[in-house]
Copies of this chain bind each other. A is one copy, B any other.
Amino acid sequence: MTQKKPITVAITGAAGNIAYSLIFRICSGELFGNDQPFNLSLIDIEPALPALEGLVMELQDSNFRLINKTICTTDPFEGFRDADYAILLGSYPRNKNQTRKDLLGKNVSIFKIQGKALSFVAKKTVKVVVVGNPVNTNALVTAKYAENIPKENIVALTRLDMNRSISQLSRKLNKNVSNIKNVFTWGNHSASQFVDLSNGYLLEGSKKTPLTELVEKEWTYGEFQTTNQTRGKAVILKRGRSSAGSAANAVIDLLKSWIYGTETYVSMGVISDNNPYNVPENLIFSFPCTCKNGSWKISKDLKPNDFCKKMIKKNVDELVSERNIAFGLLQD
């Protein structure tokens, strides 16, 4: 029986908390299957190398039979070599007094290098999930410089926002999360993010009940939005640490949808070229997507209402402004 060839999974920010929650789950075979061995390429900055070594020791002590090879490096040109998947967790963290422009400035140079490295050494078919914030613009910069990689292969994680909104609806309606479909976010992973449930439904047996029949409009545009936006802060307040476990879970959910397909809509931050909702091209924008045969497709024929269109425009303006700042700083 021929065994499958190993695939290569590269992870930046590999010494961090999201990685710690993510990597053990990947190694268990949950994402790629119990018969798919893989090479792990763990990338982080120099000060994090001891923590990375400690992680590798723990992975060895977990006796994961699916791990073929592990490398640790500070160099993305080494780390992304032959990558089939690249998960970009690492980014420059936000300081208290830092403006968004500063944050963009610190991060664009990182993602420019990563884009170039991916272009140079990764497989052309590499699927890239960007997580480090500000995620939409970091993903756009990556796509800009990853000239050999189709822009469609680079996705920003907006799945956690979707999962949180489904979790909120689950509590509101007292129903299992798996019965709630087609709820997603538009736009930027920021305070402007807008959760749209107007196409969502509750599935019980074969019966589909539109969510708009089950919750009030005021709640939909008010508390539903604010609870979602502040969920991350609420978790930090309780745990004393940020939501690494649920963020890692969202990465896995995103990749499962992307790789194995989904007919119901999921949130993905994708390149806006040729979208049917008047979002300008060349932005990474969270859209409702379906997936099939390893590619995503923006869902057509949704009819955003006026409030939704207003929120879409707000997100467009914000992302265009971020792009201007980022590309301005990157002028060669």
A residues near B, CB below 8 A? Answer: 20-21, 24-25, 28, 30, 50-51, 53-55, 57-65, 160, 163-164, 166-167, 170-171, 176-178, 231, 234-240, 243, 245-246, 248-250, 253
Do B57 and A231 touch (CB < 8 A)? yes
Do A63 and B167 touch (CB < 8 A)? yes
Q: A60-B177, A61-B231 are in contact. List 13 more A-B contacts (CB 8 A).
A: A20-B21, A28-B30, A50-B237, A50-B239, A51-B239, A57-B238, A57-B246, A58-B243, A58-B246, A59-B245, A62-B246, A63-B249, A65-B178
Do B54 and A235 touch (CB < 8 A)? yes
Cα(A206)–Cα(B28), bound, Å: 25
Output the nearest chain B residue to A236 by Cβ-Cβ distance: B54
Q: List 6 A-B residue pairs with CB atoms under 8 Å apart, sorted by A's residue number.
A: A51-B240, A54-B236, A57-B235, A58-B235, A60-B170, A63-B163
For A237, list chain B residues within 8 Å (CB).
Answer: 50, 54
3 closest A-B pairs by beta carbon, nearest first, are A54-B238, A54-B239, A65-B178
Copy number in the complex reads 2
Q: SS class of chain A's interface: helix, strand, loop or mixed?
A: helix
Do A234 and B57 touch (CB < 8 A)? yes
Do A160 and B61 touch (CB < 8 A)? yes
For A30, list chain B residues within 8 Å (CB).
Answer: 28, 30
For A178, list chain B residues within 8 Å (CB).
Answer: 63, 65
Output the nearest chain B residue to A57 by Cβ-Cβ distance: B235
Cα(A245)–Cα(B61), bound, Å: 10
Output the nearest chain B residue to A56 by Cβ-Cβ distance: B238
For A243, list chain B residues within 8 Å (CB).
Answer: 57-58, 61
Output the nearest chain B residue to A160 by Cβ-Cβ distance: B61
Cα(A238)–Cα(B21), bound, Å: 18
For A250, list chain B residues within 8 Å (CB).
Answer: 62
Do A245 and B62 touch (CB < 8 A)? yes
Do A171 and B60 touch (CB < 8 A)? yes
